[in-house]
């Protein structure tokens, strides 16, 4: 097996510091940067190569990115869901398409600037939350399969963001302009509003309350997500929030804040990283990236491809299309898409 490591270089502080840390450990590394066609800023890779003393390969993957990620994002919105494309991009692009390219270039593993940790024992990987809980990105890695985790390296998992910045400032002064850059969560949208990117034809429809009474009109379901308050211009003593998006009938159901609470949610397209010994199993579920994990019980189907989470305390704005990530303490045991 080759000992070469490819480092996914975005050009920001995290990926550049990850490359520096591996280089410091005397690892045999090279950089790999992929172009999706949605980039706005050009990166001076000669500058990066000179500073890190590594080769950076540039790979064009617009067709794969559009087919696997952008089309998924658009299709899910048309179904009235709110997808998180990063959950799909990591297994299909970074640890799929890009890992395949890295192997063709002679690497056996790929490192990224994600804030997460890995433990590898007896050919099994455990995906763990990062040391810096404010920057932890294990949520976004929860759909990786065991072979992908085996090929992954996360050099920043034991560092805080502040420490990473300090390392970059001290050891990569020539890359100051680059290391001040931050990544966007949804890289192909950036400064646009979702509605501007989707650019769906405006299709007005009914706004109903929870009893089915028509109380107003909306200008397009793609303008709303579950829990949203903005854009529901209906006079009321209490503000309305989006409760349900029904594309089949082009209907938005709204209600008051307490009606956003859900005692359970259903999940499908489940990815199990390490299969629990029990079913049902006690977990903490993170139902969106900025959500505080909620205690609950996961009931898996016999084939473990779908399931149901019963929360100990009802959760607000459980949103179809978002990822529900299952934690056992700091370990990610799996994830599914909320249905």
Q: Of 6, 7, 8, 11, nearest to 183 (Cα)?
A: 11
Measured CA to CA, the distance from residue 175 to residue 169 in angstroms comes to 9
Q: What does the alpha-carbon distance between residue 190 and residue 38 come to, in Å, rounded to a whole number?
A: 9
Q: Give, as one character, the DSSP assignment of residue 82.
A: -
pLDDT in tens, 306-318: 999 999 999 999 9
Per-residue pLDDT of the chain in tens (339 residues, 90 and over written 9): 679 999 999 989 999 999 999 999 999 999 999 999 998 778 888 999 999 999 999 999 999 999 999 999 999 999 999 999 999 999 999 999 999 999 999 999 999 999 999 999 878 999 999 999 999 999 999 999 999 999 999 999 999 999 999 999 999 988 876 666 666 568 888 777 888 888 888 899 999 999 999 999 999 999 999 999 999 989 888 999 999 999 999 999 999 999 999 999 999 999 999 998 889 999 999 999 999 999 999 999 999 999 999 999 999 999 999 999 999 999 999 999 999
How distant is the alpha carbon of residue 210 from its chain centre? 31
User: What residues have CB less than 8 Å from 243, skipping those under 6 apart?
Assistant: 210, 226, 253, 254, 255, 259, 260
Sheet holding 214-218, edge to edge: 214-218, 205-208, 251-255, 241-246
Contact call for residues 286 and 244 (beta carbons, < 8 A): no
Q: Is the Cβ–Cβ distance between 154 and 135 less than 8 Å?
A: no
Which residues are the active-site residues?
89, 187
The answer to whether 137 and 115 are in contact (CB under 8 A) is yes
Q: Where are the beta strands (DSSP E) in 90-179?
A: 109-111, 116-121, 124-129, 152-153
CA quadruple 102, 108, 109, 110: dihedral, nearest 10: -10
The whole-number pLDDT of residue 145 equals: 98
User: Tell me: the pLDDT tens digits for 224-243?
Assistant: 999 999 999 898 889 999 99
Q: Among positive and negative, which fits the CA dihedral 12, 15, 21, 24? A: negative
Q: What's the predicted TM-score (pTM) here? A: 0.94
Q: What is the C-alpha separation between 41 and 178, in angstroms, rounded?
A: 11
Q: Which residues of 289-328 are buried (b: 16+ CB within 10 A; e: fewer)?
A: bebeebebbbbbeeeeebbbbebeeebebbbbbbbbbbbe
Q: Is 71 exposed, middle or buried (0-12, 13-18, 19+ CB in 10 A)?
A: exposed
At 310 the pLDDT is: 98
Q: Do 116 and 129 meet the contact criterion of CB atoms below 8 Å apart?
A: yes
Angstrom distances, CA of residue 64 to CA of 67, 70, 112, 215, 260: 5, 9, 20, 43, 37
Q: Which domains does the chain have, with CATH numbers?
A: 5-179 (3.40.50.620), 200-255 (2.30.30.280), 260-338 (2.40.30.10)
Query: Mapping DSSP to helix (H, G, I), strand (E, B) and coil, where does residue 338 land?
Result: strand
Question: Which contiguous run of DSSP H or E holds residue 76?
Answer: helix 71-78
Is the Cβ–Cβ distance between 107 and 2 less than 8 Å?
Answer: yes
């Amino acid at each position: 097996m080759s000992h070469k490591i490819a480092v996914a270089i975005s050009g920001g502080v995290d990926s550049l510091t990850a490359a520096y840390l591996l280089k410091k450990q005397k690892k045999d590394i090279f950089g790999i940067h992929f172009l999706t066609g949605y980039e706005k800023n050009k990166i001076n890779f000669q500058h990066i190569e000179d500073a890190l003393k590594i080769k950076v390969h540039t790979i064009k993957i617009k067709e794969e990115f559009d087919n696997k990620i952008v089309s998924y994002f658009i299709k899910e919105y048309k179904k009235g869901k709110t997808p998180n494309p990063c959950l799909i991009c990591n297994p299909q692009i970074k640890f799929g398409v890009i890992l395949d390219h890295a192997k063709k270039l002679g690497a056996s593993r790929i490192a990224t600037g994600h804030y997460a940790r890995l433990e590898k024992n007896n050919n099994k990987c455990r995906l763990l939350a990062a040391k810096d809980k404010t920057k932890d990105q294990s949520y976004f890695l929860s759909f990786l399969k065991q072979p992908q985790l085996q090929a992954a390296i996360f050099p920043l998992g034991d560092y805080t963001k502040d420490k990473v910045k300090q390392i970059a400032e001290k050891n990569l002064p020539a890359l100051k302009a680059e290391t001040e850059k931050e990544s966007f969560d949804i890289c192909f949208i950036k400064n646009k509003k979702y509605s501007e990117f989707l650019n769906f034809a405006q299709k007005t429809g009914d706004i109903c309350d929870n009893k089915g009474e028509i109380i107003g009109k909306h200008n397009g379901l793609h303008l709303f997500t579950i829990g949203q308050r903005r854009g529901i211009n209906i006079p009321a003593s209490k503000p309305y929030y989006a409760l349900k998006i029904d594309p089949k009938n082009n209907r938005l159901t709204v209600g008051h804040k307490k009606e956003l609470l859900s005692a359970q949610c259903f999940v499908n397209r489940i990815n199990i990283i390490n299969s629990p010994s029990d079913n049902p199993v006690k977990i903490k579920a993170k139902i969106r990236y900025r959500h505080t994990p909620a205690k609950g019980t996961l009931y898996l189907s016999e084939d473990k491809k779908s399931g149901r989470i019963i929360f100990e305390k009802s959760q607000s704005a459980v949103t179809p299309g978002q990822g529900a990530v299952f934690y056992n303490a700091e370990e990610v045991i799996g994830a599914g898409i909320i249905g």
